[in-house]
Amino acid sequence: MRKIYIKIFLTSAVLVAAAYGCKKAEKGFISDFMYYSPNPLIATQGNVTTSKSIELDGSTGPVHAKLLAVRNKTTGGAVPEMLTSYMIRQFTAEITTADSTEELVNKKIVMKPSIPLTIGEIGGRIALSQATENVPIGLYVIDVEVKNEKGTRTITNACTIDLQVKSHFKTPVGPFYTTSDVAAETGFSSQNPLPLRITYDKNGPNKIIFKFLDKNGVAFDPSQGEVTTRGDRGHFAQMNPYFPLVKTSNSLDWGFLVLPNGFPIKEGNSGKGNYYRIPGRFTVENRNVNPVFFDFMVYSPGTFILTVQIPTITRKP
C-alpha cells in the first residue's frame, strides 16, 4: 500500500513539473523608473539642443517613445508654441571642403518648416530646434509614453526643459596663455588663465574682430606683425575660408556667414582651437606670449568683438 502512495506522489510531482515546464517564459522587462539625464535640460532660444536617450533602468531595448504633452511648469498650462511649425533656415546637405565660397554654402541653405520640440521615436532623445526662437523663455515639462516588447509606461513630468534667452555667441572654453623664449619654441611657462571678453552689436555689419591688449589696455598691432599665428597650429582664418583676414593697427577682422547652427562650422588644424602669438620683440618683458582659446562661435548677425588682455605683459612703445 505504501508503495502505491509513493508512486502516486511521484507521478503527481512529474505532472506538476511538466505543467510548469510548458509555461511560456515571459519576454523582456520594462521599468517604472526610466528617466532623462540631465534633468533639467538647459537650452537657449534659437539654438539647437539635444538630450541623451532616455535612461532605461534595465528595461529591454529598443524602446519606442512618444511625446504626450508639453506644459508650462509654473502655470501647468499647455504650450502650443512648442508644437507649432515655423519656417527656419536649414541645411539641405553637408558642407564640404568643395563649398569654398559664400555662394556655394548658401546654395545648401533653405527655409523649411520645423517644430521647436520633438522626441526621437527610438530611444526618446529630446531635440530642440532653432524654431525655439518663437517660444517664450521659461520652464517647461514633458510627459512621454515609452513602449517595448514587454509593455507601455507613461512617464509624467519626464523632463524639465529650461529655455533661456537666446545666446548670440558661445564663450570660448578654458582660455589660457603661456610665455616662451624669443624666436624659439623653448622655455615655455606654465599655463595661466586668459582674461577674455566678448561684446556684441546686433546693428553692426557681420564681422568677427579679435583684439589683443597688454596689461595696460594698449592694443598690439597685427598689421605690423605684433600678432601672428603659430606654425601649423590652428587659428580662426582656417575655420573661415569664405572671407579674407584683414589686419588693422589694433585687430584681426573677418566677415562671416550667418548659418543655421552657428559659425564657424569648419575646423582648423587644431579642431576649434585658436593659437596665436605676440612675438617677444614687441614686449617689454622680452618674452613671446601665446594666447589660446577654443570653441568660439557666433549664432546671430551683427558685429562681435573678442578682446584678449594679457595681464602680465607690457607692449613696447
pLDDT above 60: residue 70: yes
| Helix, strand or coil, per DSSP, at residue 184 | coil
Kindly report, residue by residue over 145-164, the tens digit of the pLDDT. 999 999 999 999 999 999 99
CATH architecture, domain 41-164 = Sandwich (2.60)
Question: Phi and psi (nearest 5°) for 236?
Answer: -65, -30
β-strand partners of 247: 252
- Predicted local distance difference test score (pLDDT) of residue 27: 79
What is d(CA 284, CA 315) in angstroms, rounded to the nearest whole number?
6
Q: Is the peptide bond before 291 cis (omega within 30 degrees of 0)?
A: no
Kindly report, residue by residue over 75-134, the tens digit of the pLDDT. 999 999 999 999 999 999 999 989 989 999 999 999 999 999 999 999 999 999 999 999
What is d(CA 47, CA 32) in angstroms, rounded to the nearest whole number?
32
| Helix, strand or coil, per DSSP, at residue 63 | coil
- Predicted local distance difference test score (pLDDT) of residue 8: 47
pLDDT above 70: residue 2: no
Least confident window among 13-17, 58-62, 305-309: 13-17
Please identify which residue in the block is written with the cell numbers 539642443: 49
Q: Where in the chain is the domain with CATH 2.60.40.10?
A: 41-164
All cell numbers assigned to 17 = 513539473
- Predicted local distance difference test score (pLDDT) of residue 22: 53
Predicted TM-score (pTM) of the model is 0.81
Burial degree of 127 (CB within 10 A; 0-12, 13-18, 19+) = middle
Q: Give the chain's mean pLDDT.
A: 92
β-strand partners of 203: none
What is d(CA 253, CA 11) in angstroms, rounded to the nearest whole number?
92
Average pLDDT over residues 263-275: 96
